[in-house]
Amino acid sequence: MTAKLKRACVIGWPIAHSRSPLIHGSWLAAYGIAGSYTREPVKPEDLDAFLDNLAANGFVGCNVTIPHKEGAFAKADQRSPAAEAVGAANTLWLDGDILCADSTDGEGFMANLKATVQGFSAAGRAVTVLGAGGAARAIVHALLVDGAVEIRLVNRTLARAQALAQHFGPRVVPVAWEDITRASADVALVVNTTALGMKGQPALDLDVAVLSEGTIVADIVYVPLITPLLAAARARGLPIVDGLGMLLHQAVPGFERWFGVRPKVTAELRARIVADLEKT
């Protein structure tokens, strides 16, 4: 008897740039699973209808990217604690007729951080997060769960940082952008969640000379793989964590939900995605 083909996808508008099919396709092949993972362009006005017909169209679930993360969260019948904390979802699956939602960006960030910097824990430590968008919300939540005692949230619009601090509680401290140097000087980890340093964007203006010895510098940007911030940190001898690992690790929980196998993020998979990125 032929195994039933399980289908999953990634939805967004636009969606042609997504590397998710390459990631999940590699895992399907590696584990010999009868399944498929495709890109599905979904306009904002079509989101509800697409999700209502997920099972009818043969899908067991999907990843969600811009601009649908908040809409997917609102549409879900059940939400994980991470999705509730972030107010958005990037991973959906069906449990019978119930649409379930999770936010795996924070989990992916922490998994990549701990895989890159062996033995790292945020417990009892202060960290600095630059930016206050959706990725920052996910990462702040994950760092709080990991035990960070203080998260200094630096953002160009202070009111957005203040709103996030109010949402997450007293361990999150809003900081004005002009105080970025002071906020970064004595922390265990600095995370850039802004678009600064991305291809076509200006570099992030942070002097890594102010950072303490051993401060980890992480960037969620992965095009380019080594941003100006990471290059400067590496030149100073600081441990760095690039954004590609977060992209790979955040995909793990969804694949496990849809296809029943928890996949490994391997050097071979990373090299395949790097090769694809270099084509752009």
User: Any alpha helices (H) in 66-104, and if so which ranges?
Assistant: 69-75, 81-86
Distance CA 103, CA 90 (A): 5
Distance CA 274, CA 255 (A): 20
**Distance between the two ends of the chain, CA-based, in angstroms?**
42
Helix (H, G, I), strand (E, B) or coil at 19: coil
β-strands 98-102, 78-79 pairing? parallel
Q: Please tell me which residue in 4, 43, 69, 279 is annotated as part of the active site.
A: 69
Is residue 75 part of the annotated active site? The answer reads no
β-strands 59-64, 91-95 pairing? antiparallel
CB atoms within 10 A of CB 203: 13
Question: For residue 88, which of 138, 146, 159, 48 has the smallest C-alpha distance?
Answer: 138
Distance CA 189, CA 215 (A): 5
User: Any alpha helices (H) in the chain, and if so which ranges?
Assistant: 20-30, 47-52, 69-75, 81-86, 105-116, 134-145, 158-168, 180-184, 228-235, 244-250, 252-259, 267-277
Q: At 240, which helix (H) or strand (E)?
A: strand 240-241
Q: Which two tokens stand for residue 206?
A: 């942070």
Peptide bond into 174 cis (omega under 30): no
Question: For residue 23, which of 278, 268, 279, 280 has the smallest C-alpha distance?
Answer: 268
Distance CA 227, CA 196 (A): 9
Active site positions, annotated: 69
